[in-house]
């Protein structure tokens, strides 16, 4: 199961990159769906699972506080350390506004994030196949979005399509490597609950503070909002069908 999910993670991240190269004018819908999927998995799976796993030694309030801590950690990394910025659609406007995206740096950061996503899937698979598959659905959806983001960031930075593809290929291995790395270590259920609580905060930040604003940027909110609601709904149904 671990190897199958790792292969899917690699393939979907590549597919996201190819999608970005082929259908750039529809990226807002994919980003909106991905935002809903991430927010949905945080609310409907990660947080309930974390509360259940840590229930014998932590209160619900403390477990949720860990999620808030995860949100704040990602916020600080994103805003103060990772050079996060937004600019208009064209490269010329980015240059003129002084907000030229540091494409390669941001892409490498995204690769680290994708590796951590892979770790989350691998650790969830250690809990149970059901938990792992639910986590995999959300992260695999996010991998597709990550592939889009990798190419989008590089194209906005003025890179050629061929160069963007050269970056995409090795970075697509990041989530797969994260999943496979968990074959060499494990975490007790209590500690895994703490990790899931933190990742709940991470996913809420990525979905609500990164992907949602990007999906609405320069586009009508009607269809992107529908895509976000669809993403949350599909994740909710998938979790319920999986027995979550």
What tokens does 228 get?
């976000």
Say what the pTM is: 0.65
- Which of 15, 20, 64 has its CA nearest to residue 204? 64
| Of 12-16, 22-26, 96-100, 240-244, minimum mean pLDDT range | 96-100
Count of alpha carbons within 13 angstroms of residue 88, beta-carbon side: 9
Task: Give the whole-angstrom CA distance, residue 14 versus residue 11.
Answer: 5
Residues 175, 150: contact at Cβ < 8 Å?
A: no
Give the pLDDT band of residue 49 (cuts 50, 70, 90). Answer: confident
**Helix/strand/coil for 13:** helix
Give the pLDDT band of residue 102 (cuts 50, 70, 90). Answer: very low
Residue 153 has what pLDDT? 65
| Of 71-85, 86-100, 163-177, 214-228, minimum mean pLDDT range | 86-100
The number of distinct structural domains making up the chain is 1
| Of 35-49, 89-103, 141-155, minimum mean pLDDT range | 89-103
Q: Mean pLDDT across the stretch 25-53?
A: 82
136-to-103, 181, 203, 243 alpha-carbon distances in Å = 27, 15, 13, 15
Is the confidence at residue 89, as pLDDT, over 50?
no
Is the confidence at residue 27, as pLDDT, over 70?
no
Rounded (5°) CA angle 50-175-144: 95
Is the confidence at residue 90, as pLDDT, over 90?
no
Runs of H (alpha helix) within the chain: 2-22, 27-41, 47-53, 60-76, 91-96, 103-127, 129-156, 161-171, 173-181, 189-205, 212-216, 221-241
Is the confidence at residue 59, as pLDDT, over 80?
yes
More confident residue, 71 or 221: 71
Q: What is the mean pLDDT of the chain?
A: 77
pLDDT tens string 137-170 = 767 766 776 787 677 667 666 667 777 777 888 8
Is the confidence at residue 109, as pLDDT, over 80?
no
Residues 189, 124: contact at Cβ < 8 Å?
A: no
Q: Mean pLDDT across the stretch 62-89?
A: 76
Residue 47 has what pLDDT? 92
More confident residue, 242 or 38: 38
More confident residue, 196 or 66: 66
Containing structural domain, residue 117: 2-17+26-241
Residue 157 has what pLDDT? 61
């Amino acid at each position: 199961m671990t190897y199958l999910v790792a292969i899917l993670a690699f393939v979907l991240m590549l597919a996201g990159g190819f999608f970005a190269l082929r259908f750039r004018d529809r990226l807002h819908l994919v980003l909106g769906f991905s935002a809903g999927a991430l927010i949905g998995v945080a609310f409907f799976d990660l947080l309930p699972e974390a509360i259940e796993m840590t229930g014998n030694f932590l209160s619900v309030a403390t477990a949720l506080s860990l999620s808030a801590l995860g949100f704040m950690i990602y916020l600080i990394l994103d805003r103060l350390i990772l050079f996060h910025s937004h600019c208009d659609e064209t490269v010329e406007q980015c240059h003129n506004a002084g907000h030229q995206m540091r494409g390669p740096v941001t892409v490498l950061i995204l690769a680290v994030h994708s590796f951590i996503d892979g770790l989350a899937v691998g650790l969830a698979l250690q809990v149970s196949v059901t938990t792992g598959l639910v986590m995999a659905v959300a992260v695999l959806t996010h991998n597709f979005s990550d592939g889009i983001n990798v190419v989008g960031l590089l194209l906005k930075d003025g890179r050629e399509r061929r160069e963007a593809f050269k970056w995409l290929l090795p970075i697509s291995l990041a989530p797969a490597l994260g999943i496979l790395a968990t074959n060499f270590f494990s975490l007790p259920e209590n500690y895994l609950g703490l990790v899931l609580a933190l990742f709940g905060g991470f996913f809420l930040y990525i979905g609500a503070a990164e992907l949602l604003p990007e999906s609405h940027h320069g586009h009508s909110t009607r269809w992107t909002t529908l895509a976000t609601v669809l993403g949350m709904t599909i994740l909710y149904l998938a979790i319920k069908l999986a027995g979550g």
